[in-house]
Amino acid sequence: MINAQTVLESTFGYPSFRAPQKDIIDTLVAGGDALVLMPTGGGKSLCYQIPALVRDGCGIVVSPLIALMQDQVDALRQLGVKASYLNSTLSLDEAHNIEQALLAGQLDLLYVAPERLKQERMLNLIKRSSIALFAIDEAHCVSQWGHDFRADYLQLGILHEQFPEIPRIALTATADARTRKEIVNRLDLGGARQFVSGFDRPNIAYTIGLKHNPKQQLQQFLTEQHAHDAGIIYCLSRKKTEDIAFWLQGQGFNALPYHAGLDAKIRANHQARFLREESVIIVATVAFGMGIDKPDVRFVAHLDLPKTVESYYQETGRAGRDGLPANAWMIYGLQDVIKLRQMMESSEGSEEHKRAEQHRLNAMLGLCEITTCRRQALLDYFDDELDQPCGNCDTCLKPVPTWDGTQAARMALSACYRTEQRFGVNYLVDVLRGADIDKIKHNNHHQLSTYGVGSELDNNQWRSVFRQLVARGYLSVDLERFGALRLEEKCRPLLRGEEHIELRKDVKQQDAKRTTKSQLPVDIDVALWETLRNCRRELADEQGVPPYVIFHDSTLQEMCVTMPQSLPEFSQLSGVGARKLDKYGAVFLSAINKHLAA
Ligand code: ADP
Ligand code: ZN
């Protein structure tokens, strides 16, 4: 049997395993089951690819995303791995050939959609073939509580029933304990070793700012930090993804919309362009992203607030899989909170379910409003720990000023109470600031003791106070009455003067320039970098594969820094295995030499 370290070096071109990979691989090679929770970009794929190469037989990979199988298989073939897939995009003939290859023991890895795996025909085929292992990718799809539930995943329990002796590995980046439990139960993985990695993504910088002029803020963020980068922008509604995409096109960005309502062909085309071209921006609803393992997504932007911290983490996690610096950038405002609360209230589902959703939204709001390290808060949410503030989030890089908002909060709550909890933010701000408007007079609210007591704060400052009171659960939004604010139990100590409240001081241009202006290390030769990128693009186009399948950015950067002069030197680069050395070594060496001679 060849050993895992040899495969890592010679096939994948990496010198060493990352922390948990070795143990996971050993477990499978020895015939055991494993449940792997690792953040996106952590290196999950190697955990089943290497055991499949080391063990006899073919590794069967269950993956929910047909559209991405082609790219996964292309990437493996580039490494000299005998990989294929079986899904509904193949003709009968093609599928038949692959089945024969499996029977003949000619495959290392076979990707299969879950709905196919449970079919009698497929199960029979597996029975007659030599199988190294089953890998169940995106295993959280089995969870009905999760966001990506797939009914077909429920059937995967039969793998254990029918093939108890074949080792299984289930993998996911979804962190919460409840989902993990569900995976174990439904896939019958009680006997599996669990590998739970820390969830930190240190190369992602988190920024959450206030929304005041979303388009202008977005444009500034993009031009200053990501002028030529690939990224994803999430919006809540389909219409908005289109609006933003077309507007960005007008501003000279290569932006494309993506949502479930688009024609399937257009959707597939936009996804393919995102994967294959460099610097495409996808403006999408949450329908986009699962399983997208494009390594060089340099930013994920949210123009609307996600409903849960889980979704936020999952979505932002799509940035920077290659380990290079990436941005998770979000702007949000009071309207987002109101809109989300409305959507939740009007959604179907039991009271209990709604309460759980509210609870999760509150955690998300808490993350937005905190004044301490965002990463610490995020990790804490997933019961993970970070001893020190991270130094790579907005609150760390630029400490948030706070002010004693006790007095203002009391005024705000009292205005709400005295107007009988029937009005929304705008009206309450008018009352507090003593606005001279008919509606107030008509309601006789100009006679209230709170009328005009708050003239020291301007409109925005009051909105900020209300936003934070809603976000922290002192006020709730009454949906029957178009966003009227209501007092919550939690107000009492504050109103009685027993509690003191620190509020964020909202700084308008919060999105100060950040460190990741360019992903390139400062001292590399930009001309060489461009030359190597062109070289990569040509090779990719010739073969109809995404550029990162040839080499990742990180490998190209290493080339720029070390400028190898010979094949043995070239083979030392991370990401250069035997096959790629053979296929591409000479081309890139000659490009480097030409550059040096010029
Ligand atoms: P995940 O599926 O967990 O999101 P991937 O399997 O796509 O992550 O791996 C993320 C990136 O890390 C890939 O570019 C992969 O080639 C790289 N990688 C994985 N393991 C190693 C390793 N041991 N050494 C160097 N790079 C690695
Ligand atoms: Zn931090």
CA of 554, closest atom in ligand 1: 14
- B/e letters for 257-269, b = 16+ CB within 10 Å, e = fewer, are bbbeebeeeebee
485 beta partners: 477
Ligand number, closest to the Cα atom of 206: 2
- B/e letters for 457-486, b = 16+ CB within 10 Å, e = fewer, are beeebbbbbbbbbbbbebbbbbeeeebbbe
Instruction: Return all residues near 329 (Cβ < 8 A) that are at least 6 apart.
Output: 207, 209, 221, 299, 300, 301, 302, 511
Least confident of 284-288, 445-449, 466-470, 475-479: 475-479
Q: Tens digits of per-residue pLDDT, 319-358?
A: 999 889 999 999 998 888 888 877 777 777 788 888 778 8
Q: Tens digits of per-residue pLDDT, 113-153?
A: 999 998 999 999 999 999 999 999 999 888 876 667 888 88
CA distances from 495 to 347, 428, 555 (A): 33, 17, 60
| 564 touches ligand 1 (CB under 6 Å) | no
Ligand number, closest to the Cα atom of 296: 1
Domains of the chain, CATH where assigned: 4-196 (3.40.50.300), 204-397 (3.40.50.300), 402-506 (1.10.10.10), 526-597 (1.10.150.80)
The residue whose CA is least distant from atom 5 of ligand 1 is 43
CA of 18, closest atom in ligand 1: 23
374 within 8 A of 394, measured Cβ to Cβ: yes
Question: What is the pTM for the complete model shown?
Answer: 0.82
Handedness of CA 443, 449, 455, 457 (dihedral sign): negative
Q: Tens digits of per-residue pLDDT, 378-415?
A: 998 888 889 999 999 999 999 889 999 999 999 999 99
Looking at residue 521, its pLDDT comes to: 63
What's the token pair of residue 329?
Answer: 């950038």
| 42 touches ligand 1 (CB under 6 Å) | yes
How far apart CA 447 and CA 432 sit, in angstroms, is 12
Question: Which of 54, 34, 58 is closest to 44 using CA atoms?
Answer: 34
Ligand 1 centroid – CA 547 distance (Å): 16
413 beta partners: none
Ligand 1 centroid – CA 468 distance (Å): 40
Instruction: Return all residues near 98 (Cβ < 8 A) that are at least 6 apart.
Output: 84, 85, 86, 90, 107, 110
201 within 8 A of 40, measured Cβ to Cβ: yes
Secondary structure class of 230 (helix, strand, coil): strand
Ligand 2 centroid – CA 372 distance (Å): 7
Looking at residue 513, its pLDDT comes to: 47
| 17 touches ligand 1 (CB under 6 Å) | yes
| 4 touches ligand 1 (CB under 6 Å) | no
Question: At residue 168, what are phi and psi to the nearest 5 degrees?
Answer: -125, 145
533 beta partners: none
Looking at residue 373, its pLDDT comes to: 95
Looking at residue 1, its pLDDT comes to: 67
Ligand 1 centroid – CA 321 distance (Å): 8
- What is the mean pLDDT of the segment spanning 84-112? 96
- What is the mean pLDDT of the segment spanning 231-256? 96
| 258 touches ligand 1 (CB under 6 Å) | no
How far apart CA 136 and CA 192 sit, in angstroms, is 13
| pLDDT tier at 276, thresholds 50, 70, 90 | confident
109 beta partners: 59, 83
Does the pLDDT at position 519 exceed 60?
no
